[in-house]
Structures are given as C-alpha cells and as structure tokens.
Chains A and B, each alone.
Chain A
Amino acid sequence: MVKVIKTERRVLKSMPSFFKDRKPKKKRPQGDENQTTDHQIERIQVSLSGNLNMIEQKTGNSSDVVIREIKMGGDSDIKTAIVYVEGIVDNQSIQEYLLQSMMKDDHKEVINQQNAIDLLSKDIMTIGNISPITNFDDLFASLMAGDTLILVDGVDQALSASTKGGEKRSIAESTTQMVVRGPKGAFTESLGTNTAMVRRIIKTPDLWMESLKVGRVTKTDVTLMYIHGIANDKVVKEIRQRLHRIDIDSILESGYIEQLIEDQTLTPFPTMYNTERPDVVAGNLLEGRIAIFVDGTPFVLIAPAIFMQFFQSAEDYYARFDIATSIRLLRIFMFMISLIAPATYVAVTTFHQEMVPTMLIVAIAAQRESVPFPAFVEAVLMEITFEILREAGIRLPKAIGSAVSIVGALVIGQAAVQASIVSPAMVIIVSITAIASFATPSFDMAISARLIRFLFMIGAATFGFYGIILCLLMMVVHLCSLRSFGVPYMAPFAPFIPVNNGDTVVRLPWWTLRQRPRLITANTVREGTNQYPHPPASRGMVNRDFEEGDNNEA
C-alpha cells in the first residue's frame, strides 16, 4: 500500500505543469477509502444459524431480505440456506438455476458437509458467476448488490451467485439531447446496460473499463471507461486517483462525482460534459476522452471537456459539413445573443442613444415614454419574470404546465405592456434571449449563460457598451484560466492549435479531420491519408451512335 502512494507521488511530481492546480496534499490512510471505517473484518462463522442470525441482525430484520432454508443430502442432514434481497434479484434464475438444482440434485449420495461448497459451485448450480466469500463485509456487499448467498452449515464460507436483476427501465429515446438524424436510444439508470450500449458501438478489446464503488453508505457502482491507446494515460491516472479520493456517504447522481472531482469549482462554466447518448460517449472516447458511468443515472460524465464541446451536437457529425458549420455558427451567435441581448438594450437606451437610427430611437422612446422604471430595472424585472416562468414550467406536472404558459404569455406578453410596466421592445428582447438560450445544445452551458447575463446587464447599466466589453473581457480571461483535467478549457483557441480548429466554430468535412484533438489524446492519427472521396472519372455524356433510321424518341 505504501508503494502505491509512492508511485502516485512520483507521477504527480513528474507532471507539475500538466496538472497545475493539483498540489500533493496530505494523503488519508488508503485503508479508509470506500470502506466502512468502524469495524474490523469479521469472518463468516461455522454455524449456519449463527450466520443467519448475524444477517438478520445486521439488516434489522428487513422484510425484503429473504432467507430460505433447505435441507440437502441423502438424509436431508446438510442444512443450507439461500439469502437474497427481494426486488433486486432475478427471481426466475433463482428458481430455475438455484432452487431447482439444489433441491432436486443428483448428488444426494455423495454430498457431505465438507465438500458441499465445492460441489455446489462446481457441479450443482447452473448459474453464470459464482464466487466464494469468507467475510461478512463481502457478504453484505454482494447481498446488497443483488447477488444470492448460499450458506452451508458447518462451513465458514459462503457462495455468492450472481443473480442481479429486477425491474429496470428499458432503453428509451433521449429526452434531453434530441436529434433528427442519428441513433435514438439513450442511456438508462442501469450501469450494466449503459456500458453495454457503448461496448456495442466500439468493438475493440482496447475499450477498457474500471469499476469501483463510491459512497460509504450507497456503495454506488462507478465505472471508468476509456480506449486504451487513445486516451491519455496521465489523465486516466488522474481521474482514477480523484475518484479514489472521494469519501462521501452517498452518490445519487453523476453530478455528485462531477462536483467532487472537477478542477475549478468557482466558475459558472461546466468543466465536465454530461450526456445521455451512447453515440456521444463513443465519439468522445474516440477523441481520447474518458467516460465516467454512475449507476442509477442515465447521465454519463465525460472528461476532459473544452469550451467548444458544449456547442457541438451529435448531429453536427452526421450532417454534411456545410450544414453543420452554418448551424454551429448560428449556435455561437445565439449564445452571444443569450448573453448580451438585454445588456445591449440597456446600454443603448441609457448610454448610446446616438448609435441608433433616429426613427428607431424615436420608436423606442415612444414605447418607454409611459414606463416608470429606468431601462435597467425594466430589463431585470422582465428577465426575472421570465426565469420564474421557466422554472415554474419545468417543475409543474404536465397537466398544469400549459396553464403556466398561458398565464406567462398573457402576463409578460400583453398585460405588462398594457399596464405600462414594460415596453414592447423589452418583451421582444426577452423573448429573443429566451429562445436563444434554449437553442444552446448543452443545458449546462445555457444555464451558465443565464446567470452571467445578469452580470452583463449590471455592467451595461453602469458603463454602457464599455461595461459590456469589460465583462466580455473578464469572461474571456476567466475562460482562458480554466482547465479541465489539465487540458486548457479554451483549447484549441488558447493555446492556438491550427490543426484542431477544424472542429470548433466550423466543422470541416470528415476527410480533412485527420487528427484527434492534440491536447486530449495520446494518439492523434484518426484517419488515413487521402480520404477525399474519389468517384470514378467522369465519362461525360453517354454517347450512343445512332444508326440511320433510329429515332431518339422515348
């Protein structure tokens, strides 16, 4: 164990610039991690009743823990018991492969206490994965994970048969990242299903997975997935180490993990990407990124993430490049609108009236004539009203949801204007901002723009356009200072990497994107040379030699 710490220290020292923000902090004793801290390892007893008592006591006699005692052997003298938790096991396999084979077994004559465990695992049980257990920690871990335990009287060992199962949601269409073209299936809450969905896309033995349990109480399965040879080993090591460091009682969603392992916490911008689409995960793995699957949530984390990634949609890569490029440009434009549209309105109406054509400023002035508030207050009022409406719309049950939109449309669309609380121009600005922020493909990025928008409005209200530019500069500086697992957030703009700019604000055709992002991957060669499609040379017009008398009519 000491050796492990040492090697990790050495790794950290060897890449000080790469993981700039990580200082080697004092290490907690390794033994503590992911383990119950308050009792020492307890071995399984010899007596069956003692063991069963122990299980009952530890689980507090919970009603869903099923203990079924069976007598085996020729004289029914071998007392065995089957223990499982109802609901998280596959009832059918317990019945067919465990109970049936144990009760109607053909080894009645041979079996005795000494060879019972051996026989059970080797000859009797017709189930996939069986492992022997010697202590109670493992016993409870596998019991709670959905395995079935087989205990035999007189043996200080138990068998754990893999019978994980129970009800789970079937694969459905993605609800958060919809595409017109592309695979429809989204991840589910079941980790096994999710990893399998990716495995089904990337059929290489180099697709490696590492599993660990995180959460002292919940013991949530977390799986790290990457493609060996494409992912950067240093990043893999770093993520692994950060995951091991987590000591928390519960992991209920991948958001927990994200917040516990991200580089920079004081930022509105997301430094890890999350998705519920298997094709997005596969695409990112193939660029050298690492996916973190968490059991119980369809949202898979992807690290390292860069800024431009949040403006990419899966469909960009399926559509032809000209379409994809123009749509991506549109998205960036919309992101800017959602950031600065209200701020611009405030700046124009309170500082820079000279920059607007006369007739337009007269039109805006006419609308503002009856509004009692300064433009800034008006803008904040409307933006907050809209945020309230949006939040209400999301939380409400579907049946009442439409009522919110009706009330909202009336309140901010019509009544507020007629009551001279806001001007119609402001309503237009708010609607455009709202629509623009909905159009950002990543919800996390849109939500951070929502937050920063208010900062921009304050900047505009105090300094006009100068304030907006100031805020913009601060934002860019901040973005440039961010890192996601050692990779600069603004890559490939800062640092500027010309080759990797083909897939940023533009999306060049696939045959030009020969390299994977250089800062992320360990192996940059994505495709062979000369991938430009070469159709056979044109044959020109089809010339038939018409014979005399032939006619050319159809």
Chain B
Amino acid sequence: MKRKGVFLLLMMTMTLLLTSCWSKKELTDLAIVSAMGIDETKDGRFHITLQIINPGNVAGGMQGGGGSQSPPITIYSASGDNIVEASRRASGRISRRLYYAHTNLVVVGERLARKEGLNTLIDGLDRDPEFRNTSTLVIAKNSTAADLVKTLTPVDKIPANKVLKTLEFTERKWGENVKTSLQEVMKSIESPGRGAVVSGFRLVGNPQQAQKLDNLQESAPAATLRASGIAVLKKGKLVDWLYGKPARGTVWILDKIQGTDINIDWAGKKEAIAYQTVRQKTSVSAQVKNGKPHISVHTRAEGDIGDMEVPVDITDPKVITKIEQSLRKEIKKELRVAIERAQKNKTDILGFGEVVHRTRPNQFKKLKTEWNDVYFPKLDVDITVEAYVRRAGLRNKSFLSGVKENQK
C-alpha cells in the first residue's frame, strides 16, 4: 500500500516535470515590438512594419558607449493576406520570437484607412492574447504607416514612446488631438450611430532622412513626427480630417480637454488676452420632443489670465465679467463649429446618439438606423457655456498700464 502511494506520487511528480516550461520565454529570445505599422500593398494585401527595440542601444549605459553608434530600433516588415499571416511570415527575417505585449502603438496608413477601413484589421489585434487592447491607434497622415514607424526620434529614444507621449500631453495642454486606444475605437465603431475619432500623426520632412541616425545628430532634426489633426471615421473608414478650431471643439465636447488656451479680442485689438483653462467640464444631455431629438451641451470652464497685450484693469469686477462674457462667446463659437462640421460629415463623432440612447432607449431604437444620415445632421443643439476667470497669474495690473500712463 505504502509502495503504491510512493509510486503514485512519483508518477505525479514526473508528469509535472514532463510538461517542462512550455510557456517559458527568455528575455534574450524576445524581439520586443514597440510599434506596428499597417499599410495596404498595391494588390490589396496587408503590409506590416514592425518597430523592434534594440535593448542594448536604448538602455545601454553599461558599456559606457551610450549606444549612439546604432539605432535604438530596428525595422522589419512583411506582408500577407491578413495580419496574422504577415506577422508569422516576418519570423523568417527576425532572429527572435516576436513579442507583442509591449506594442503600445498601432499606426494605420491613410490609404488603408480611407479604402479598406479599420474594421478588417481590428479583430486580429483584438483576438491576440499578447496584444494589448489599450495600445494607441494612430493614422499616418499623408504618408504610409511604414514611414512613420521607421522614423527615429530625439529625446525619447523609442519612437513609439515619442508618439504616445506627444499625444498624451498635447491632448491635455492644447486639445487639438485625442489619444484613442484600440479599445475605444472598437467601442465607438461598434456603438449604434456613432463615428470614431482617431488622432493623426504626420511625418514632417524627408522619409529617407527620417530613418537615419544622422537625423538625430542635428539640434533641429530635418525630419520629425508631429501630431496632426483628428481623423473622422465613419463605419470604420476615414472620411475627414479635423484641424484647429473644429478639432478642439470636438475634443471639448468629448470632455477630454484638460487645459488649453483661448484668445479673445479686447479694445479693438485682435487676440489681445490669452486665457488658459485650468479645468473644464462638458456635459451633454438629450430630450426627445415629438419624436425629434434635441441636444443640449453645457460647458463650464475655469481658468487664469495668461497674457494681455493691451493694458486692462482687472481689479475691476466689471472688466472680469466682460472678459468672461467674451470667453463664453469664443468657446461657444468653437463648439458650434465642431458640431456643424460633424453634421456636415454626417458622422456622429460627438456621441450625441449615445446620449439619446441613454435617456430615451425606446425612442432611439427607431432613430438608430438612420441616425447618422437623417437625424444627426438636422439635430438641434443648444450650447450653454460658463467661463470664469479665477486667477490672473502673478500680476494684477499689467506693467503695460504703467507704460501707458507715463506716456500720456
């Protein structure tokens, strides 16, 4: 009996050991993919470009060289009928196993986004156990995704990081771009009557120059990457690019802005006072009257005065009220522009449909199918804006006031 027990135990231990370390992967056998670019070939297949980190050249403080001799990334590319095939095919060119768990950036070429749309490629990324749904999606504007992925960047050695951080900070500090993850894009494409927004990124300069280390040797690199516009996706396909005020208005309504700068005219001078928002909150609500949906957008912004080019006496509360009023007008104008642009595109990127859905689920069912094409473009939108000046920086009275008085 006892011997049998020992035998059984031995067998069980053996089976444990026989499995070996099947999911084991040594760090030195991994090719860490930091970014993936997806393009379309001429014959309609997928072409992927993989940005692989050379760890030694990124963190290589060890040997004292600093790793400036060779680039921090290496590019491999392959094509196939779908992304999985292309990825598998790429293994013939790389000495290591491709590792997608750290791929935080997916770049889609503009041509692919316009023609095929994103719908066909997202499933492969979503299904993969290694690939993260939280990775950021970006559309390469005016270029192929390959060119964008290949570009070397200064300061942030890994280009994928540079793109991510740029988006993150510009969304917060300027608000003309958004950082959307794969997951968010998937959700908004999926949701009834909703268009998606994806940030655009652009390569400024010569693509050939951008891949060279020489590019980084200059203080003002000839070729750089720049966040540029917001892509509007309708049913997964790229239909329009937003820049400037419509872009910022869109981000504003999506309630993703944290801080930005708004200029107002004063005393006949254009853009005379700069106002920096510190916090803002936008809420969208919906009513349906007689089967007709009605949207109200309410924005509340608080901020400081950052700059004034004409002397203004802000110790006077009336002046402050006046500034606030013109701020409201200005913000309202921006939001209006954004909404009109979206209505012109017949794409509900602002999520108004969802709001209607939330407040009147039953009535939205009738509107759902034709929301984008019929109801959304004709939607009545009320915009109310509250704007407050909270602080005025370190100064009350500008030195300009002194200059003015002394010149009298």
Contacts and interface: CB of A to CB of B under 8 A. Distances in A.
Interface stretch (A172-180, A207-215, A240-248, A362-370): A362-370
Contacts of B21: 350, 461-463
A353 B62 CA distance: 21
Interface stretch (B50-58, B203-211, B318-326): B50-58
A349 B34 contact: no
A350 B102 contact: no
Q: Chain B interface secondary structure, helix, strand, loop or mixed?
A: loop
Interface stretch (B23-31, B356-364, B386-394): B23-31
Given A353-B30, A358-B102, A358-B104, A366 B55 contact: yes
B62 A350 contact: no
Top 4 A-B pairs, shortest CB-CB distance: A354-B101, A366-B55, A365-B55, A366-B59
Contacts of A165: none
Interface residues of A, number: 25
B59 A362 contact: yes
Contacts of A462: 16-17, 19-21
Interface string B161-179: 1000000000000000000
B58 A366 contact: yes
Contact of B28 (A354, A365, A464): A365
Interface string B31-57: 010100000000000000000010110
Given A361-B32, A366-B62, A353 B25 contact: yes
B25 A369 contact: no
B27 A365 contact: yes
B214 interface: no
Interface string A352-381: 011000110111111111110011000000
B58 A349 contact: no
Interface in B53-111: 53, 55-56, 58-60, 62, 99, 101-102, 104
Interface in A421-462: 424, 461-462
Nearest to B53: A362
A366 B56 contact: yes
B102 A365 contact: no
Nearest to B160: A358
Contacts of A350: 21, 24-27
A351 interface: yes
B223 to A, nearest CB: 24
B117 to A, nearest CB: 29
Contact of B55 (A369, A371, A461): A369
B309 interface: no
Nearest to B99: A353
Interface residues of B, number: 29
Contacts of A370: 56
A359 B16 CA distance: 34
7 contacts: A350-B26, A351-B23, A353-B25, A353-B30, A354-B101, A366-B56, A369-B55
A529 B58 CA distance: 65
B23 A349 contact: no
B2 to A, nearest CB: 16
Most buried by B among A351, A365, A369, A463: A365
A contact face: mostly helix, strand, loop, or mixed: helix
A361 B59 CA distance: 10
B23 A375 contact: no
B27 A364 contact: yes
Given A351-B23, A353-B30, A354-B130, A363 B59 contact: yes
A351 B17 CA distance: 17
A349 B55 CA distance: 14
Interface string A394-411: 000000000000000000
A353 B103 CA distance: 12
Contact of A464 (B23, B99, B132): B23
A365 B104 contact: no
Among B30, B102, B132, find the residue whose CB has the most chain A CB atoms closer than 10 A. B102
A424 B62 contact: yes
A353 B101 contact: yes
A464 B24 CA distance: 8
A342 B24 CA distance: 16
B27 A351 contact: no
Interface string A462-495: 1110000000000000000000000000000000
B18 to A, nearest CB: 11
Given A350-B25, A353-B25, A367 B102 contact: no
A468 B158 CA distance: 33
> Among the interface residues B17, B23, B158, which one has the most CB atoms of the partner chain A within 10 A?
B23
Q: Most chain-B Cβ atoms within 10 A of its Cβ — which of A349, A361, A464?
A: A361
Counting chain B CB atoms within 10 Å of each CB, the highest count among A351, A366, A368 belongs to: A366
A361 B102 CA distance: 9
Interface in A251-275: none
Contacts of A359: 59, 161
Contacts of B56: 366, 369-370
Given A353-B101, A374-B26, A365 B32 contact: yes
**B16, B17, B27, B102: most-surrounded residue (chain A CB, <10 A):** B27
Contacts of A362: 32, 53, 55, 58-59, 158
A274 to B, nearest CB: 34
Nearest to A355: B101
Nearest to A356: B102
A361 B25 CA distance: 13
A368 B55 CA distance: 9
Given A353-B99, A358-B102, A368 B25 contact: no
B94 to A, nearest CB: 15
Interface in A308-359: 349-351, 353-354, 358-359
Contacts of A368: 26-28
A298 B158 CA distance: 62
Nearest to A347: B24
Given A350-B25, A353-B99, A366 B130 contact: no
Given A362-B158, A375-B27, A461-B24, 20 more contacts: A349-B26, A350-B25, A350-B26, A353-B32, A353-B99, A358-B34, A358-B102, A358-B104, A359-B161, A361-B32, A361-B102, A362-B53, A362-B58, A362-B59, A365-B27, A366-B55, A368-B27, A368-B28, A462-B17, A462-B21
Contacts of A349: 26-27
